[in-house]
A and B are shown apart, each in its own frame.
Chain A
């Protein structure tokens, strides 16, 4: 039976499972290919990087790309730890704040009644599909006017409001039954208590998905460093990695591969941490 929701990993292997593996394993190999590629590519020595036809797997793994990367980094005026620190501050701030704001707004839009509610959601939907390029210059002007150019806020504030996040979370909150909230209300819980104790625990999967999206959008973001900052000491790791690999030298290619692996590892860690807490929460959350 494919469809038997709430039981996680069966204890024993059963021959009923074989057809599933027949489909899943080949597709999984396809899906896993990019990760294998990134790891392999980073360890390729120069001759293999430029080999034609290009090879997928590395045959003589070496650390030469990483060595080049760190040597170049050591030679620059600002230590790489500074960029890492900047990225860390900005990423943590954006993920936490955007999740807080999106869940609060999602709760209000999904479960509360007030005027202009639908208009607000429509505005969000419009923002959702708007082309980012068209708003970069107006955003720059806004940031200039507010006076946060060249500060951490210039990295954080433009990314906090994530329309995709709000949309996902709001749609998930619609699934929380009203009767649960009414019960909580009868027990004397206020709006904030309901939000914190009922809504948040029940929408964990959506929140985690939103967190991953937010993390991705900020961690790999080069634009804010490029446009809204001018001093080197406030820029982020992804920007730095980008400049290193964009030098245009032959070494640059190898360094780009190494940088890609380094940028990818936090993504991977975050997902491993998230997925164990996320995937199975729905089954036990008491939602029907």
Chain B
């Protein structure tokens, strides 16, 4: 649009009365949110960033003691905390392994729950219920008692199977199996989101496909998956975020202990959490790039082709 010299009434840069009123309404609607986020997130995050670049002391308020080198806290996270880089790498790998499993599992369950079955609402409830107890002390008790592991696969067999692989790959896979049930328990929200998405797919599409001779398998790949694409992206991001910020993950625990330890202190913990956030952000970015909708380009290309075809016909 920028290249055109002719004045276009739909030009986005033109300021009209209507556009101004839309802006005003937009800001009005989002104002409470902005205020809340600025006070409790943005300000707090900026503060923690400041913390991470200084050595803070709490007595009669806070004193920011400058560090000899601004990046000292960050450097010492990598230099002194021997476990941190390894834990972080393992965590990232585990996340990348768990996320597709949760997505696939919840999509399958959602498809089943969306079908014609008896006692559907009962099943829906059961699949969502673990979510509402997944937080809190109950879960810790359960894990401690070994309810969350798969009893069918003993740890030994698994270790034998995996022994051919290098340690850094085998460990996350082992973890994955030992927490498989836990993973399934965490997929309630995802199932709910998929169900809501599935119910929006018009049934006429499937009927048309059936008439054209498509099997259930084909219509799953050609209709359900493309329509659900945005939901899959949504669920993938949601899953990564909940796994990454859940209270029971190793890194959060580490950050917590480090932050309140007398020897290391809060600024050290702040530096660690910023590193962690950066890693999670990179994972999220990858997920987004992988799953985002590319249909825009595709549609443009298709319309261009059709238009060209039409021109050829006219000529």
A residues with a Cβ closer than 8 A to B are 1-10, 13-14, 16-17, 20-21, 23-24, 27-28, 30-35, 37-38, 41, 54, 56, 100-102, 104-105, 107-109, 112-115, 117, 120, 123-135, 137-139, 141-142, 146, 157-158, 160-161, 163-164, 166-168, 171-172, 174-175, 191, 195, 205-206, 209, 212-213, 216, 220, 245, 256-257, 260, 263-264, 267-268, 270-272, 275-276, 279-280, 282-283, 287-288
Contacts and interface: CB of A to CB of B under 8 A. Distances in A.
B118 A134 contact: no
B30 interface: yes
B128 interface: yes
Q: Secondary structure of the B side of the interface?
A: helix
Given A5-B203, A139-B44, A161-B37, A245 B193 contact: no
Interface centre among B22, B41, B277 (most CB of A within 10 A): B41
A31 to B, nearest CB: 5
A115 B23 contact: yes
Given A113-B22, A220-B135, A3 B280 contact: no
Contact of A33 (B19, B112, B147, B206): B147
B47 interface: yes
B75 interface: no
Contact of B121 (A129, A137, A267, A279): A279
A50 to B, nearest CB: 12
B230 interface: yes
B90 interface: no
Given A120-B30, A134-B274, A195-B29, A142 B40 contact: yes
A20 B113 CA distance: 9
Given A112-B22, A114-B26, A34 B266 contact: no
B137 A101 contact: no
Given A20-B117, A38-B133, A133-B269, A1 B256 contact: no
B1 interface: no
Given A3-B219, A213-B189, A161 B40 contact: yes
Contacts of B141: 41, 257
Given A16-B116, A167-B237, A172-B196, 6 more contacts: A5-B114, A5-B201, A112-B29, A142-B40, A142-B43, A191-B22
A128 B241 contact: yes
B112 A23 contact: yes
B41 A133 contact: no
Q: Which 10 A-B pairs have the closest CB atoms?
A: A105-B33, A138-B47, A161-B36, A134-B273, A114-B26, A108-B29, A112-B26, A138-B44, A135-B44, A282-B199
Contacts of A270: 132
Contacts of A160: 36
A127 B274 CA distance: 12
Q: Secondary structure of the A side of the interface?
A: helix
B281 interface: yes
Given A112-B25, A209-B189, A271-B132, A133 B255 contact: yes
A206 B199 CA distance: 13
Given A112-B29, A168-B193, A267-B133, A2 B112 contact: yes
B79 interface: no
Contacts of B131: 212
Given A3-B220, A54-B145, A114-B26, A133 B127 contact: no
B198 interface: yes
B99 interface: no
A275 B133 contact: no
Interface string B245-286: 100000010011001000000100110011011001100100
B139 interface: yes
A27 B182 CA distance: 12
Contacts of B119: 9
A20 B127 CA distance: 15
B127 A134 contact: no
Q: How large, as a class, is the contact surface on chain B?
A: 35 or more
Given A129-B277, A209-B192, A271-B128, A1 B147 contact: no
A279 B195 contact: yes
Contacts of B109: 24, 27
A209 B188 CA distance: 10
13 contacts: A5-B198, A34-B185, A105-B30, A114-B22, A114-B27, A126-B277, A128-B245, A130-B45, A134-B48, A135-B41, A139-B44, A161-B40, A260-B138
B292 to A, nearest CB: 12
B169 interface: no
B16 to A, nearest CB: 12
Given A31-B185, A168-B238, A220 B48 contact: no
A135 B202 CA distance: 45
A224 to B, nearest CB: 12
Interface in B114-162: 114-121, 123-133, 135-139, 141-142, 145, 147
Contact of B41 (A102, A108, A161): A161
A37 B145 CA distance: 11
Contacts of B230: 171, 174-175
A268 B123 contact: no
A38 B185 CA distance: 15
